[in-house]
Protein backbone atom coordinates (compact mmCIF):
# COMPACT_ATOMS: atom_id res chain seq x y z
CA UNK A 1 0.00 0.00 0.00
CA UNK A 2 2.36 2.68 1.26
CA UNK A 3 1.95 6.33 0.52
CA UNK A 4 0.22 5.77 -2.79
CA UNK A 5 -2.51 3.66 -1.20
CA UNK A 6 -2.95 6.22 1.54
CA UNK A 7 -3.34 8.96 -1.03
CA UNK A 8 -5.97 6.92 -2.83
CA UNK A 9 -7.86 6.44 0.40
CA UNK A 10 -7.52 10.11 1.19
CA UNK A 11 -8.72 11.08 -2.29
CA UNK A 12 -11.66 8.75 -1.88
CA UNK A 13 -12.69 10.37 1.40
CA UNK A 14 -12.13 13.81 -0.03
CA UNK A 15 -14.41 13.02 -2.99
CA UNK A 16 -17.01 11.43 -0.74
CA UNK A 17 -16.83 14.52 1.47
CA UNK A 18 -17.36 16.76 -1.52
CA UNK A 19 -20.34 14.74 -2.59
CA UNK A 20 -22.00 14.95 0.77
CA UNK A 21 -21.34 18.62 1.18
CA UNK A 22 -22.71 19.36 -2.25
CA UNK A 23 -25.90 17.41 -1.68
CA UNK A 24 -26.33 18.92 1.76
CA UNK A 25 -29.48 20.86 2.33
CA UNK A 26 -31.08 20.24 -1.02
CA UNK A 27 -34.85 20.04 -0.81
CA UNK A 28 -37.67 18.98 -3.07
CA UNK A 29 -41.42 19.55 -3.22
CA UNK A 30 -43.62 16.49 -2.79
CA UNK A 31 -47.05 17.20 -4.24
CA UNK A 32 -49.74 14.55 -4.25
CA UNK A 33 -52.37 15.71 -6.74
CA UNK A 34 -52.18 12.49 -8.71
CA UNK A 35 -54.84 9.92 -9.48
CA UNK A 36 -52.37 7.14 -8.62
CA UNK A 37 -49.83 7.75 -5.91
CA UNK A 38 -46.76 5.81 -5.02
CA UNK A 39 -46.97 4.55 -1.45
CA UNK A 40 -45.53 7.24 0.87
CA UNK A 41 -42.91 4.81 2.19
CA UNK A 42 -41.71 4.21 -1.36
CA UNK A 43 -41.40 7.95 -1.93
CA UNK A 44 -39.50 8.49 1.31
CA UNK A 45 -37.10 5.70 0.36
CA UNK A 46 -36.62 7.37 -3.01
CA UNK A 47 -35.84 10.70 -1.29
CA UNK A 48 -33.26 8.99 0.89
CA UNK A 49 -31.74 6.95 -1.95
CA UNK A 50 -31.10 10.20 -3.80
CA UNK A 51 -29.75 12.13 -0.83
CA UNK A 52 -32.51 14.70 -0.51
CA UNK A 53 -32.34 16.11 3.00
CA UNK A 54 -35.41 18.33 2.97
CA UNK A 55 -38.92 17.99 1.68
CA UNK A 56 -41.71 20.52 1.26
CA UNK A 57 -45.28 19.28 1.46
CA UNK A 58 -48.59 20.85 0.45
CA UNK A 59 -50.61 19.53 3.36
CA UNK A 60 -50.13 17.52 6.53
CA UNK A 61 -51.56 14.16 5.45
CA UNK A 62 -51.03 11.64 8.24
CA UNK A 63 -49.87 8.96 5.79
CA UNK A 64 -47.12 11.25 4.48
CA UNK A 65 -46.04 12.43 7.91
CA UNK A 66 -45.93 8.89 9.29
CA UNK A 67 -43.81 7.73 6.36
CA UNK A 68 -41.36 10.57 7.06
CA UNK A 69 -41.02 9.65 10.73
CA UNK A 70 -37.52 8.46 11.53
CA UNK A 71 -36.23 9.33 8.05
CA UNK A 72 -34.05 12.21 9.23
CA UNK A 73 -35.47 14.33 6.40
CA UNK A 74 -36.35 17.91 7.35
CA UNK A 75 -39.96 18.75 6.63
CA UNK A 76 -41.91 21.84 5.65
CA UNK A 77 -45.46 20.81 6.40
CA UNK A 78 -48.28 22.90 4.95
CA UNK A 79 -51.73 24.39 5.34
CA UNK A 80 -53.60 24.58 2.01
CA UNK A 81 -55.21 27.89 1.01
CA UNK A 82 -58.71 26.57 1.62
CA UNK A 83 -57.87 26.11 5.32
CA UNK A 84 -56.47 29.61 5.87
CA UNK A 85 -59.82 30.98 6.95
CA UNK A 86 -60.21 28.22 9.55
CA UNK A 87 -56.78 29.14 10.95
CA UNK A 88 -58.06 32.67 11.61
CA UNK A 89 -59.54 31.11 14.73
CA UNK A 90 -56.76 30.69 17.30
CA UNK A 91 -58.19 27.51 18.81
CA UNK A 92 -58.32 25.91 15.39
CA UNK A 93 -54.73 26.95 14.77
CA UNK A 94 -53.68 25.42 18.10
CA UNK A 95 -55.48 22.19 17.22
CA UNK A 96 -53.82 22.11 13.81
CA UNK A 97 -50.38 22.59 15.36
CA UNK A 98 -51.06 19.76 17.77
CA UNK A 99 -52.44 17.42 15.11
CA UNK A 100 -49.94 18.19 12.35
CA UNK A 101 -46.76 19.24 14.13
CA UNK A 102 -46.21 18.59 17.83
CA UNK A 103 -47.68 15.10 17.72
CA UNK A 104 -44.81 14.07 15.41
CA UNK A 105 -42.05 15.61 17.51
CA UNK A 106 -41.16 12.46 19.46
CA UNK A 107 -37.77 10.79 19.35
CA UNK A 108 -37.70 9.05 15.95
CA UNK A 109 -40.57 11.20 14.75
CA UNK A 110 -40.69 13.87 12.07
CA UNK A 111 -38.08 16.62 11.84
CA UNK A 112 -40.50 19.50 11.20
CA UNK A 113 -38.65 22.74 10.48
CA UNK A 114 -41.27 24.94 8.86
CA UNK A 115 -44.98 25.35 8.43
CA UNK A 116 -46.02 26.70 5.04
CA UNK A 117 -49.10 28.80 5.65
CA UNK A 118 -50.99 28.72 2.34
CA UNK A 119 -49.51 28.26 -1.09
CA UNK A 120 -48.99 31.37 -3.25
CA UNK A 121 -52.16 32.86 -1.72
CA UNK A 122 -51.70 36.28 -3.33
CA UNK A 123 -51.56 35.13 -6.95
CA UNK A 124 -53.38 37.76 -8.99
CA UNK A 125 -55.50 34.98 -10.50
CA UNK A 126 -57.06 34.31 -7.05
CA UNK A 127 -58.73 37.74 -7.23
CA UNK A 128 -57.81 38.61 -3.65
CA UNK A 129 -59.62 35.60 -2.17
CA UNK A 130 -56.95 35.07 0.52
CA UNK A 131 -55.85 38.64 1.19
CA UNK A 132 -57.76 38.91 4.44
CA UNK A 133 -57.04 35.49 5.88
CA UNK A 134 -53.34 34.82 5.22
CA UNK A 135 -51.67 37.12 7.76
CA UNK A 136 -54.00 36.19 10.66
CA UNK A 137 -53.41 32.51 9.83
CA UNK A 138 -49.65 33.06 9.80
CA UNK A 139 -49.82 34.85 13.14
CA UNK A 140 -52.01 32.24 14.77
CA UNK A 141 -49.88 29.34 13.58
CA UNK A 142 -46.60 30.90 14.71
CA UNK A 143 -48.14 31.98 18.02
CA UNK A 144 -49.48 28.46 18.54
CA UNK A 145 -46.03 27.04 17.77
CA UNK A 146 -44.54 29.51 20.25
CA UNK A 147 -47.14 28.62 22.88
CA UNK A 148 -46.38 24.92 22.38
CA UNK A 149 -42.73 25.68 23.14
CA UNK A 150 -41.41 24.79 19.68
CA UNK A 151 -41.45 28.23 18.07
CA UNK A 152 -37.70 28.72 18.37
CA UNK A 153 -37.09 25.68 16.14
CA UNK A 154 -40.17 25.63 13.92
CA UNK A 155 -41.03 28.69 11.85
CA UNK A 156 -44.20 29.55 10.00
CA UNK A 157 -43.73 31.15 6.60
CA UNK A 158 -45.89 31.91 3.56
CA UNK A 159 -44.65 30.53 0.22
CA UNK A 160 -45.34 33.35 -2.21
CA UNK A 161 -45.11 33.56 -5.93
CA UNK A 162 -42.64 36.04 -7.33
CA UNK A 163 -45.63 37.96 -8.67
CA UNK A 164 -45.90 39.66 -5.27
CA UNK A 165 -43.01 41.83 -6.39
CA UNK A 166 -41.74 40.98 -9.81
CA UNK A 167 -44.13 42.48 -12.35
CA UNK A 168 -43.51 46.09 -11.45
CA UNK A 169 -39.71 46.00 -11.37
CA UNK A 170 -37.71 47.39 -14.27
CA UNK A 171 -34.39 46.36 -12.75
CA UNK A 172 -33.70 44.19 -9.69
CA UNK A 173 -32.68 47.21 -7.63
CA UNK A 174 -36.07 48.81 -8.26
CA UNK A 175 -37.88 45.81 -6.71
CA UNK A 176 -40.87 46.72 -4.54
CA UNK A 177 -43.87 44.75 -3.36
CA UNK A 178 -46.91 44.88 -5.63
CA UNK A 179 -48.81 48.10 -5.06
CA UNK A 180 -52.17 46.46 -4.31
CA UNK A 181 -50.67 44.40 -1.46
CA UNK A 182 -47.79 46.62 -0.34
CA UNK A 183 -49.11 47.23 3.19
CA UNK A 184 -50.06 43.61 3.68
CA UNK A 185 -46.62 42.44 2.52
CA UNK A 186 -44.95 44.90 4.89
CA UNK A 187 -46.97 43.52 7.79
CA UNK A 188 -46.12 39.94 6.83
CA UNK A 189 -42.42 40.76 6.60
CA UNK A 190 -42.55 42.51 10.00
CA UNK A 191 -44.17 39.47 11.57
CA UNK A 192 -41.68 37.07 10.00
CA UNK A 193 -38.80 39.25 11.21
CA UNK A 194 -40.17 39.41 14.74
CA UNK A 195 -40.16 35.61 14.84
CA UNK A 196 -36.84 35.14 13.02
CA UNK A 197 -38.74 33.32 10.28
CA UNK A 198 -37.67 33.26 6.64
CA UNK A 199 -39.38 34.69 3.58
CA UNK A 200 -40.31 31.95 1.11
CA UNK A 201 -40.53 32.63 -2.60
CA UNK A 202 -41.19 30.48 -5.67
CA UNK A 203 -39.14 31.42 -8.71
CA UNK A 204 -39.94 30.12 -12.18
CA UNK A 205 -37.68 31.03 -15.08
CA UNK A 206 -39.80 28.70 -17.24
CA UNK A 207 -42.84 30.87 -16.60
CA UNK A 208 -40.92 34.00 -17.57
CA UNK A 209 -40.27 32.33 -20.89
CA UNK A 210 -43.79 30.94 -21.20
CA UNK A 211 -45.59 34.20 -20.47
CA UNK A 212 -43.46 36.43 -22.67
CA UNK A 213 -42.77 35.29 -26.21
CA UNK A 214 -40.03 37.89 -26.61
CA UNK A 215 -38.19 36.70 -23.48
CA UNK A 216 -34.53 35.91 -24.35
CA UNK A 217 -34.40 32.10 -24.23
CA UNK A 218 -30.87 31.76 -22.86
CA UNK A 219 -31.61 34.17 -19.99
CA UNK A 220 -33.85 31.47 -18.49
CA UNK A 221 -30.82 29.21 -17.93
CA UNK A 222 -27.60 29.57 -15.98
CA UNK A 223 -25.18 28.88 -18.79
CA UNK A 224 -26.69 31.14 -21.41
CA UNK A 225 -25.13 33.81 -23.55
CA UNK A 226 -28.05 36.19 -23.49
CA UNK A 227 -27.17 39.87 -23.34
CA UNK A 228 -26.90 40.65 -19.62
CA UNK A 229 -29.37 42.93 -17.90
CA UNK A 230 -27.38 45.86 -16.58
CA UNK A 231 -28.42 47.28 -13.21
CA UNK A 232 -25.98 49.94 -12.06
CA UNK A 233 -22.67 48.15 -11.53
CA UNK A 234 -24.24 44.71 -11.72
CA UNK A 235 -24.70 42.58 -14.82
CA UNK A 236 -27.39 39.94 -14.53
CA UNK A 237 -26.81 36.92 -16.76
CA UNK A 238 -29.87 34.89 -15.80
CA UNK A 239 -33.44 35.56 -14.74
CA UNK A 240 -33.18 33.57 -11.51
CA UNK A 241 -30.62 36.00 -10.09
CA UNK A 242 -32.55 38.99 -11.37
CA UNK A 243 -35.77 37.72 -9.88
CA UNK A 244 -34.23 36.81 -6.52
CA UNK A 245 -32.45 40.15 -6.19
CA UNK A 246 -35.69 41.96 -7.01
CA UNK A 247 -37.02 40.38 -3.83
CA UNK A 248 -33.90 41.33 -1.90
CA UNK A 249 -34.51 44.95 -2.98
CA UNK A 250 -38.20 44.78 -2.08
CA UNK A 251 -37.27 43.48 1.38
CA UNK A 252 -34.63 46.19 1.77
CA UNK A 253 -37.22 48.82 0.85
CA UNK A 254 -39.32 47.77 3.85
CA UNK A 255 -36.29 47.74 6.15
CA UNK A 256 -35.38 44.04 6.11
CA UNK A 257 -32.46 43.74 3.73
CA UNK A 258 -30.98 40.78 5.61
CA UNK A 259 -34.11 38.66 6.00
CA UNK A 260 -33.34 35.00 5.18
CA UNK A 261 -34.95 33.84 1.94
CA UNK A 262 -35.97 30.29 1.11
CA UNK A 263 -36.58 29.37 -2.53
CA UNK A 264 -39.68 27.28 -1.97
CA UNK A 265 -40.04 26.11 -5.55
CA UNK A 266 -37.78 26.20 -8.57
CA UNK A 267 -37.80 23.81 -11.51
CA UNK A 268 -38.62 23.09 -15.12
CA UNK A 269 -41.46 20.99 -16.60
CA UNK A 270 -40.94 18.35 -19.29
CA UNK A 271 -44.19 18.28 -21.22
CA UNK A 272 -47.14 20.45 -22.15
CA UNK A 273 -45.42 23.32 -23.95
CA UNK A 274 -42.89 23.76 -26.70
CA UNK A 275 -40.27 24.77 -24.07
CA UNK A 276 -41.32 22.13 -21.57
CA UNK A 277 -38.89 19.38 -22.52
CA UNK A 278 -36.67 16.94 -20.72
CA UNK A 279 -33.59 18.32 -22.50
CA UNK A 280 -34.29 21.87 -21.26
CA UNK A 281 -35.12 20.63 -17.78
CA UNK A 282 -31.80 18.79 -17.75
CA UNK A 283 -29.99 21.96 -18.80
CA UNK A 284 -31.81 24.11 -16.24
CA UNK A 285 -31.24 21.76 -13.31
CA UNK A 286 -27.67 21.11 -14.41
CA UNK A 287 -26.91 24.82 -14.13
CA UNK A 288 -28.86 25.27 -10.92
CA UNK A 289 -27.26 22.29 -9.15
CA UNK A 290 -23.77 23.32 -10.22
CA UNK A 291 -24.35 26.72 -8.60
CA UNK A 292 -25.75 25.21 -5.45
CA UNK A 293 -22.74 22.91 -5.13
CA UNK A 294 -20.34 25.80 -5.70
CA UNK A 295 -22.33 27.90 -3.20
CA UNK A 296 -22.73 30.63 -5.79
CA UNK A 297 -25.21 33.23 -4.61
CA UNK A 298 -26.78 36.16 -6.41
CA UNK A 299 -25.11 39.56 -6.89
CA UNK A 300 -26.97 41.02 -3.87
CA UNK A 301 -26.65 37.84 -1.75
CA UNK A 302 -23.28 36.44 -2.80
CA UNK A 303 -23.12 33.79 -0.09
CA UNK A 304 -25.00 30.98 -1.85
CA UNK A 305 -24.14 28.60 0.98
CA UNK A 306 -26.90 30.22 3.03
CA UNK A 307 -29.57 29.61 0.44
CA UNK A 308 -32.15 26.93 1.06
CA UNK A 309 -33.71 25.58 -2.14
CA UNK A 310 -36.56 23.19 -2.85
CA UNK A 311 -36.82 21.78 -6.35
CA UNK A 312 -40.25 21.60 -7.95
CA UNK A 313 -41.17 18.94 -8.07
CA UNK A 314 -40.63 15.35 -7.20
CA UNK A 315 -43.26 13.40 -9.17
CA UNK A 316 -45.69 14.30 -11.96
CA UNK A 317 -49.22 15.07 -10.80
CA UNK A 318 -51.88 14.08 -13.33
CA UNK A 319 -54.78 15.58 -11.39
CA UNK A 320 -53.51 19.16 -11.06
CA UNK A 321 -55.50 22.02 -12.54
CA UNK A 322 -54.20 22.97 -15.98
CA UNK A 323 -55.49 26.53 -15.68
CA UNK A 324 -51.87 27.81 -15.66
CA UNK A 325 -51.04 25.65 -18.71
CA UNK A 326 -50.74 22.03 -19.89
CA UNK A 327 -47.24 21.85 -18.39
CA UNK A 328 -48.70 21.99 -14.89
CA UNK A 329 -48.97 18.19 -14.63
CA UNK A 330 -45.38 17.58 -15.74
CA UNK A 331 -43.09 19.29 -13.24
CA UNK A 332 -41.72 16.03 -11.82
CA UNK A 333 -38.05 15.14 -11.96
CA UNK A 334 -39.62 11.67 -11.76
CA UNK A 335 -42.49 10.32 -13.84
CA UNK A 336 -45.76 9.24 -12.24
CA UNK A 337 -44.20 5.85 -11.48
CA UNK A 338 -41.02 7.13 -9.85
CA UNK A 339 -38.79 6.66 -12.91
CA UNK A 340 -36.33 9.52 -13.49
CA UNK A 341 -36.92 11.45 -16.70
CA UNK A 342 -33.44 12.74 -17.50
CA UNK A 343 -29.86 12.71 -16.29
CA UNK A 344 -29.41 14.74 -13.13
CA UNK A 345 -26.49 15.00 -10.75
CA UNK A 346 -27.66 16.34 -7.40
CA UNK A 347 -24.06 16.74 -6.29
CA UNK A 348 -23.73 19.50 -8.91
CA UNK A 349 -20.65 17.92 -10.50
CA UNK A 350 -22.31 17.62 -13.91
CA UNK A 351 -22.50 13.80 -13.90
CA UNK A 352 -24.69 12.23 -16.57
CA UNK A 353 -26.28 9.47 -14.53
CA UNK A 354 -29.96 9.23 -13.68
CA UNK A 355 -31.44 9.55 -10.22
CA UNK A 356 -32.28 6.39 -8.29
CA UNK A 357 -35.81 5.28 -9.26
CA UNK A 358 -38.56 4.27 -6.87
CA UNK A 359 -38.13 0.70 -5.71
CA UNK A 360 -40.67 -2.11 -5.74
CA UNK A 361 -43.25 -0.22 -7.81
CA UNK A 362 -46.27 -2.35 -8.70
CA UNK A 363 -48.00 -1.75 -12.02
CA UNK A 364 -51.43 -2.70 -13.27
CA UNK A 365 -51.34 -5.48 -15.90
CA UNK A 366 -49.82 -4.69 -19.33
CA UNK A 367 -53.17 -3.77 -20.90
CA UNK A 368 -54.18 -0.73 -22.91
CA UNK A 369 -57.49 0.64 -24.16
CA UNK A 370 -57.42 1.77 -27.80
CA UNK A 371 -59.66 2.82 -30.65
CA UNK A 372 -61.54 -0.17 -32.08
CA UNK A 373 -60.92 -0.22 -35.84
CA UNK A 374 -63.97 -2.45 -36.42
CA UNK A 375 -66.25 0.42 -35.39
CA UNK A 376 -68.39 1.87 -38.17
CA UNK A 377 -70.29 4.64 -36.43
CA UNK A 378 -67.80 7.40 -35.67
CA UNK A 379 -70.39 10.08 -34.95
CA UNK A 380 -69.61 10.05 -31.20
CA UNK A 381 -65.82 9.92 -31.53
CA UNK A 382 -65.08 13.59 -30.77
CA UNK A 383 -67.47 13.64 -27.85
CA UNK A 384 -65.98 10.43 -26.45
CA UNK A 385 -62.44 11.82 -26.64
CA UNK A 386 -63.58 14.96 -24.82
CA UNK A 387 -65.24 12.88 -22.13
CA UNK A 388 -62.18 10.66 -21.65
CA UNK A 389 -59.89 13.69 -21.44
CA UNK A 390 -62.14 15.48 -18.95
CA UNK A 391 -61.52 12.69 -16.44
CA UNK A 392 -57.92 11.90 -17.27
CA UNK A 393 -54.75 13.65 -18.38
CA UNK A 394 -54.49 14.19 -22.15
CA UNK A 395 -52.03 17.07 -21.96
CA UNK A 396 -49.41 15.05 -23.86
CA UNK A 397 -51.62 15.41 -26.98
CA UNK A 398 -51.27 19.17 -27.11
CA UNK A 399 -49.01 21.36 -29.21
CA UNK A 400 -45.34 20.92 -28.36
CA UNK A 401 -45.91 17.68 -26.43
CA UNK A 402 -44.73 14.13 -27.00
CA UNK A 403 -48.03 12.82 -28.43
CA UNK A 404 -48.89 15.81 -30.56
CA UNK A 405 -49.38 14.95 -34.22
CA UNK A 406 -51.34 11.70 -33.80
CA UNK A 407 -54.32 11.40 -36.16
CA UNK A 408 -57.84 11.45 -34.78
CA UNK A 409 -57.85 7.70 -34.15
CA UNK A 410 -54.49 7.98 -32.45
CA UNK A 411 -55.89 10.78 -30.29
CA UNK A 412 -58.87 8.57 -29.47
CA UNK A 413 -56.63 5.65 -28.48
CA UNK A 414 -54.51 7.90 -26.29
CA UNK A 415 -57.54 9.44 -24.60
CA UNK A 416 -59.33 6.12 -24.10
CA UNK A 417 -56.21 4.60 -22.60
CA UNK A 418 -55.63 7.45 -20.17
CA UNK A 419 -59.24 7.15 -19.01
CA UNK A 420 -58.96 3.37 -18.74
CA UNK A 421 -55.79 3.62 -16.65
CA UNK A 422 -57.30 6.25 -14.33
CA UNK A 423 -60.19 3.83 -13.85
CA UNK A 424 -57.69 1.12 -12.87
CA UNK A 425 -58.36 -0.72 -16.13
CA UNK A 426 -61.95 -1.53 -15.18
CA UNK A 427 -63.36 -3.31 -18.25
CA UNK A 428 -66.46 -1.14 -18.39
CA UNK A 429 -64.26 1.97 -18.68
CA UNK A 430 -63.02 0.79 -22.09
CA UNK A 431 -66.21 0.77 -24.12
CA UNK A 432 -67.34 4.21 -25.34
CA UNK A 433 -70.30 2.77 -27.24
CA UNK A 434 -68.10 0.25 -29.03
CA UNK A 435 -65.47 2.80 -30.08
CA UNK A 436 -62.89 1.34 -27.71
CA UNK A 437 -61.36 -2.06 -27.04
CA UNK A 438 -58.81 -3.54 -24.65
CA UNK A 439 -55.52 -4.83 -26.05
CA UNK A 440 -52.42 -6.47 -24.62
CA UNK A 441 -50.30 -5.04 -27.43
CA UNK A 442 -48.23 -2.08 -26.33
CA UNK A 443 -49.93 0.86 -28.02
CA UNK A 444 -46.98 3.27 -27.61
CA UNK A 445 -45.83 4.91 -30.83
CA UNK A 446 -42.59 6.75 -31.53
CA UNK A 447 -42.15 9.38 -28.85
CA UNK A 448 -45.64 8.85 -27.46
CA UNK A 449 -45.80 6.57 -24.42
CA UNK A 450 -49.11 4.91 -23.72
CA UNK A 451 -49.15 4.66 -19.95
CA UNK A 452 -49.82 1.63 -17.83
CA UNK A 453 -50.72 3.01 -14.43
CA UNK A 454 -49.30 1.92 -11.13
CA UNK A 455 -51.25 -0.07 -8.62
CA UNK A 456 -51.31 2.79 -6.17
CA UNK A 457 -51.75 2.99 -2.45
CA UNK A 458 -54.93 4.96 -3.09
CA UNK A 459 -56.28 2.09 -5.18
CA UNK A 460 -55.34 -0.42 -2.54
CA UNK A 461 -57.10 1.75 0.02
CA UNK A 462 -60.22 1.81 -2.17
CA UNK A 463 -60.08 -1.93 -2.53
CA UNK A 464 -59.74 -2.26 1.23
CA UNK A 465 -62.64 0.08 1.88
CA UNK A 466 -64.84 -1.83 -0.57
CA UNK A 467 -64.05 -4.97 1.42
CA UNK A 468 -65.16 -3.09 4.51
CA UNK A 469 -68.28 -1.94 2.64
CA UNK A 470 -68.89 -5.51 1.53
CA UNK A 471 -68.46 -6.79 5.05
CA UNK A 472 -70.79 -4.18 6.49
CA UNK A 473 -73.23 -5.05 3.69
CA UNK A 474 -73.04 -8.67 4.80
CA UNK A 475 -73.62 -7.72 8.41
CA UNK A 476 -76.60 -5.57 7.41
CA UNK A 477 -78.05 -8.60 5.61
CA UNK A 478 -77.39 -10.81 8.61
CA UNK A 479 -79.01 -8.20 10.79
CA UNK A 480 -82.04 -8.09 8.48
CA UNK A 481 -82.26 -11.88 8.49
CA UNK A 482 -82.05 -11.84 12.24
CA UNK A 483 -84.74 -9.20 12.61
CA UNK A 484 -87.02 -10.93 10.12
Ligand X SMILES: *[C@@H]1O[C@H](CO)[C@@H](O)[C@H](O)[C@H]1NC(C)=O
**Site residues, ligand X (CB under 6 A):** 126-129, 132, 366, 397-398, 402, 406-408, 411, 442, 444, 447, 449, 452
241 to each of 36, 127, 212, 301, 349, how far by Cα in Å? 36, 28, 18, 9, 21
**Shortest Cβ 404–ligand X spacing (Å):** 7
Q: Residue 101 or residue 403: which is nearer to ligand X going by CB?
A: 403
Q: What angle do CA 451, 455, 460 make, to 5 degrees?
A: 150
d(CA 396, CA 400): 8
Report the candidate in 151, 398, 137 with the shortest Cα–Cα distance to residue 271: 398
Yes or no: say if 442 and 366 are a contact pair by the CB < 8 Å rule: yes
**Shortest Cβ 407–ligand X spacing (Å):** 5
Q: Residue 128 or residue 302: which is nearer to ligand X going by CB?
A: 128
DSSP 357: P
H helix runs in 391-454, sequence order: 408-422
Q: Residue 240 or residue 280: which is nearer to ligand X going by CB?
A: 280
d(CA 136, CA 88): 5
**Shortest Cβ 357–ligand X spacing (Å):** 11
Strand partners, 65: none
Q: Residue 50 or residue 453: which is nearer to ligand X going by CB?
A: 453
H helix runs in 254-379, sequence order: 278-293
Q: Report the b/e string of 269-306 with b at 16+ CB within 10 A.
A: bbbbbebbbbebbbbbbbbbbbbbbeebbbbbbeeeee
Q: Which residues are within 8 A (CB) of 138 and not within 5 positions of it... i.e. 6 or more apart?
A: 117, 156, 157, 158, 188, 191, 192
Q: Residue 249 or residue 402: which is nearer to ligand X going by CB?
A: 402
Strand partners, 112: 75
**Shortest Cβ 329–ligand X spacing (Å):** 12
**Shortest Cβ 46–ligand X spacing (Å):** 17
Q: Residue 284 or residue 336: which is nearer to ligand X going by CB?
A: 336
Residue 428 catalytic? no
Report the candidate in 59, 149, 69, 150 with the shortest Cα–Cα distance to residue 111: 69
What is the number of helices (H) and of strands (E) in the chain? 12, 13
Write out the E strands in 218-296. Answer: 229-231, 234-236, 261-266
Q: Residue 167 or residue 474: which is nearer to ligand X going by CB?
A: 167
**Shortest Cβ 431–ligand X spacing (Å):** 21
Indicate which residue of 120, 271, 308, 328 is catalytic.
120
Indicate which residue of 53, 265, 308, 317 is catalytic.
265
**Shortest Cβ 40–ligand X spacing (Å):** 24
Residue 328 catalytic? no
* Helix pair 134-147, 182-194: axis angle to 10 deg: 10
Instruction: Please identify every residue annotated as catalytic.
Output: 120, 265
Amino acid sequence: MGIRGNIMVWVFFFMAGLWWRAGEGLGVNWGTQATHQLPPKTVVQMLRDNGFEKVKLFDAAASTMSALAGSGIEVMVAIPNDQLETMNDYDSAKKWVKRSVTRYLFNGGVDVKYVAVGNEPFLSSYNGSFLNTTLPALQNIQNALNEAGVGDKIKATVPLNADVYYASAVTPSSGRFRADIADLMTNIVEFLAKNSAPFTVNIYPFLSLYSDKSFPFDFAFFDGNAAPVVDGNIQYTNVFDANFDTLVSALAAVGHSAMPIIVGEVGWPTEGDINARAAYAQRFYGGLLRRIAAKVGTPLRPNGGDLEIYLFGLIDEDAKSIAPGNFERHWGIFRYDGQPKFAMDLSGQGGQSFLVPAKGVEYLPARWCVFNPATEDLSKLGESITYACTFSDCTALGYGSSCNGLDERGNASYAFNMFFQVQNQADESCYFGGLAMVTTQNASTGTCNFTVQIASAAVQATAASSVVALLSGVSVMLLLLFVL
